[in-house]
Structures are given as C-alpha cells and as structure tokens.
Homo-oligomer: A and B are copies of this chain.
Amino acid sequence: MTRHFQKIDLPVWQVRRYLEPGPIVLVSSTWKGRRNIMTMGWHTIMEFSPSLVGCIISSANHSFEMVRQSRACVINLPTTALTDEVIGIGNCSGAEIDKFDHFGLTADKAKKVNAPLIRECYANFECRLADDSLVDKYNFFIWEVVKAQVAVSPKHPQTLHYTGDGVFMVSGKIISRRRQFLPEML
C-alpha cells in the first residue's frame, strides 16, 4: 500500500519547493530511547540559507519534549498513499504506543541528526533546532534543515493540505509561469 521511493539529495535551500505549498507533514523524533511521529500542518519556510523552517508543535503533544530536549527532528513529506496513516498518527499519542510499529512505518537512521526518518515518505528533511526563543510563548520552533532527500519520481508528489474539520485539499495541477517572472523574483 505504501511506496518505497528511490531518493536523491536535494540542496537544503530548495526545501521550499516542497514545503511552501503547505502540505501536511509528519515530524519524527527520538529522546531517551523512545521515538515518535506527529502530524503537523502549521509550518512555514523562513529563509533559504541557512535553510530555516518555523513550525508550531503544541506542548500538548508527546513530541514536544522530545524535540525540545533532543533539539532535532525529521520533517517527512507524506503523499496521499499515506492518508490513513497521517490521520491515524494524529489521532493517537506516542505516550501509549510506538507509532512506527503501530502504523507499519520504517524508521531509518538520519544522516546528520539524531532522529529517525520515515522511509515511506516522499521526502525527508533533517532538522536541527536553530532558535527556541518563541517556544515558551507560542510553541514555535525554528529549525535549520541540514540534510534533505527527495524521491526521484514523481516530480510533483500528490500531497495533502489540511483545511480543518476532517477535510483535505489534494495538490492539483501544476502550471509554469516562469517566463512571466523577473529572474530575481523566482
């Protein structure tokens, strides 16, 4: 049911290609011998270089202390093939179950950070905590992506975009307007 993608390295400044359109993502982490996955939809690119991503991870989540203490995570990009897993992972807590085992996902070792990555996802962005100054006030984490790997194909993955109330928008057609852009505005 889920696919195993062949992946290649992506320059980290190009992660905007996959995160800027607003997909739901899966955040994986580990701390003190435990590991976890959470579903996350509140994130934004903040800078190309260093490659920064800001996101909200609520203190109500089991992953909150894991990522705060380990100062690492992997942001994994699921496609519609993992829709059931995306919802299921959001429905339960890592305090009670191991979500990799429960959902049949493969934890691979990340290359540059101490966190597991999810093999079945289209892309894996390894992150180090760059700034925790807004964590106490807003649960807002600023990550630096230090390693990025993406699937070779399809070129445009079918991603899930959450709108609340149990409803997702699925990524649609691709249009190129490259010739209309000033080069410095691309």
Contact = CB atoms under 8 A, between A and B. Distances in A.
A169 B156 contact: yes
Contacts of A181: 87, 90-91, 166
Interface string A146-186: 00000000001000011111111111111111111110011
Contacts of A87: 177, 180-181
Contact of A162 (B20, B169, B180): B20
A182 B92 CA distance: 9
A22 interface: yes
Number of copies: 2
Chain A: interface size category: 35 or more
B44 A56 contact: yes
Contacts of A78: none
Given A43-B44, A54-B140, A133-B134, 18 more contacts: A20-B162, A20-B163, A21-B22, A46-B138, A83-B175, A90-B181, A134-B134, A138-B142, A161-B171, A165-B186, A166-B178, A166-B179, A166-B181, A166-B186, A167-B176, A168-B177, A172-B172, A172-B173
